[in-house]
């Protein structure tokens, strides 16, 4: 089952850290109007730090991203797209590397059984993000978010998988203490989305 919410929060935590470090806004580009500001605020990305762009289609979205990277205003860019060609990912990779700006591309599934990571990409790294069971806190029924993070491809390196805990007040992800000295294991069902 697809879990775009986990991936969205994971990307928001990375973008929040970039925004805090540079003082610049985060550009969030999506053809959908389903961004939930209170959840982003909870992960450390206040709505005052987000510029939301809602282009009409993926082609316009890619143009907005490329223009924003060249402009240099955002500290980071999060883009949600359904279909991105190999040529488009190559262009984004080149322009982002030249500007030294993180461009985080969430590839949404177009169909229930389609894997977005099956499509070719020129990205330096490709990730699959899913939910993992949270550790209980003092308050019953409440736990700190955990994600299963799988690097499926990286240039010059092997893929890997681990479990991380959601951002803390400093905006840092953490490897849970119980998992720090052994291989990451997943308990229960894990749902994935592609980034």
Whichever domain contains 63, its CATH number is 3.40.50.300
pLDDT at 178: 62
Number of domains observed in the structure of the chain: 1
Residue 133 lies in domain = 4-194
pLDDT at 171: 62
pLDDT at 177: 64
Ordered DSSP codes for the chain:
-B-HHHHHHHHHHHHHHHHHHH---EEEEESSS---HHHHHHTT--GGGEEEE--SSHHHHHHHHHHHHHH---SEEEEEES---HHHHHHHHHHHHHHT--EEEEE--SSTT--GGGS----SEEEEEEEEEEEE-SSTT-EEEEEEEEEEEETTB--EEEEEEPP-TTS--B--GGGTTS-----S---EEE-
pLDDT at 158: 87
- Tens-binned pLDDT, residue by residue, of the chain (195 aa): 347 788 888 889 889 989 999 999 999 999 988 888 888 888 888 999 999 999 999 999 999 999 999 999 999 999 998 888 889 889 888 998 899 999 999 887 666 677 767 777 888 888 888 888 887 777 777 777 788 888 888 888 888 888 888 766 566 777 776 654 444 444 334 333 444
């Amino acid at each position: 089952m697809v879990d775009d919410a986990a991936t969205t929060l994971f990307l928001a935590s990375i973008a929040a850290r970039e925004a805090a470090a540079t003082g610049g806004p985060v550009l969030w580009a999506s053809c959908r109007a389903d961004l939930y500001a209170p959840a982003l605020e909870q992960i450390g990305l206040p709505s005052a730090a987000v510029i939301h762009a809602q282009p009409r289609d993926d082609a316009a979205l890619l143009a907005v991203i490329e223009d924003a990277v060249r402009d240099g205003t955002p500290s980071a860019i999060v883009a949600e797209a359904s279909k991105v060609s190999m040529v488009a990912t190559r262009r984004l990779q080149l322009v982002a590397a030249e500007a030294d700006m993180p461009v985080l591309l969430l590839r949404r599934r177009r169909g229930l059984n389609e894997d977005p990571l099956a499509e070719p990409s020129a990205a330096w790294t490709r990730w699959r993000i899913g939910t993992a069971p949270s550790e209980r806190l003092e308050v019953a029924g409440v736990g700190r978010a955990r994600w299963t993070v799988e690097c499926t491809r990286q240039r010059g390196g092997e893929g890997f998988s681990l479990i991380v805990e959601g951002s803390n007040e400093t905006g840092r992800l953490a490897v849970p203490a119980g998992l720090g000295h052994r291989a990451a294991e997943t308990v229960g069902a894990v749902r994935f989305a592609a980034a």
